[in-house]
Amino acid sequence: MHGAAFSDLHLHRMIKEVSAISAQLDPGIGADWMLKRVQFMAYELRTHTPFEATPFELCEILNDYFFTQKGFKAIPKIHEAKDPLTCLLLQRVLSTRSGSPAVLSLIYSFLATQIGLRLEFVDLRPTCFLKFVVSGVSHYVDMSGEGRMLSSDDLLESLHSRFHLKAIPAEALLEPVSMERFLSEYLTSLKSEYVRRTNLESLLLIQNALMALQPSSLQLLAERALLYRRLGHFKQALADLKRYFSFHDKETAPVEVLSVFNELTELVERQKTTVQLID
């Protein structure tokens, strides 16, 4: 998906995956409810959209619907929110109509495709901007500014003033974020919040979702092994660590990872010895 705006099918898959992880982390409202809520918004929006409109007109129509009529509001500094999960879990964002720029950009982009406006997620942090190109010129949608449209120069000025970013490579403005990258960054944001809460079961769920997106990541594999160890799942932890060390030298492994591997290996050996003595 590099170099092209997401299609409605890709965005539907992304919303489906975010809905599923949100429902698992915060039971009570199912993933189907979230999907139907977004799809109904798309139906409503289409009834207000003329058949022929320029990308700029479509953006204005969407902004009016999303930010003015529905009252969605971006919370850029989610760590300052009373409950950051309210800004990250999709069912809560849909209920309160406020959330992180990343979650809002996902909903906004899906709605955009339903009226013929294709957008790219821009590779900038914080992820507040979406991009569309008209006649070879890039235009940016500011999710923290109620969908205000910016030129490349306006975007740079906004980043300098609002986020105090002093040096931004020009190519960063042109590189779209892949679906896997977007979902990985979303899951990483969730992970940070659950680390703060020391919620190990939820962390394991997020870790598994991250590993499904990045199956070759040794770092994620080691992190899951340590999670398994903390949860008391020794066999799973050792299995992950054996796989980890089949690709990673022990001499350069993190101290904690090597320590847990040695601990669990010794535990298994002691158990084998005990079984042999009993026999």
**Closest C-alpha to 173, from 135, 123, 125:** 123
**Closest C-alpha to 243, from 270, 268, 267, 215:** 215
Q: Is residue 94 predicted with pLDDT exceeding 80?
A: yes
At 129, give phi and psi (nearest 5°).
Answer: -125, 145
Can you tell me the mean pLDDT for 108-133? Answer: 84
Coil, strand or helix: which one is 7?
A: coil
Can you tell me the mean pLDDT for 88-101? Answer: 95
Averaged confidence pLDDT in the chain: 87
Residue with tokens 């944001």: 189
| Enclosing H/E stretch for 4 | none
- Angle, helices 31-47 vs 101-114, to 10°: value is 50
Those residues whose C-beta lies under 8 Å from the C-beta of residue 199, and which sit 6 or more positions away, are none
**Closest C-alpha to 37, from 98, 90, 112, 102:** 90
Q: How confident is the model at residue 167 (pLDDT cuts 50, 70, 90)?
A: low
What's the pLDDT at 9? Answer: 85
| 141/103 Cα distance (integer angstroms) | 14
pLDDT digits (tens, 9 = 90+) for 20-69: 999 999 998 999 999 999 999 999 999 989 888 999 999 999 999 999 99
Which of these ranges, 7-16, 93-102, 208-217, has the smallest mean pLDDT? 7-16
| 13/58 Cα distance (integer angstroms) | 23
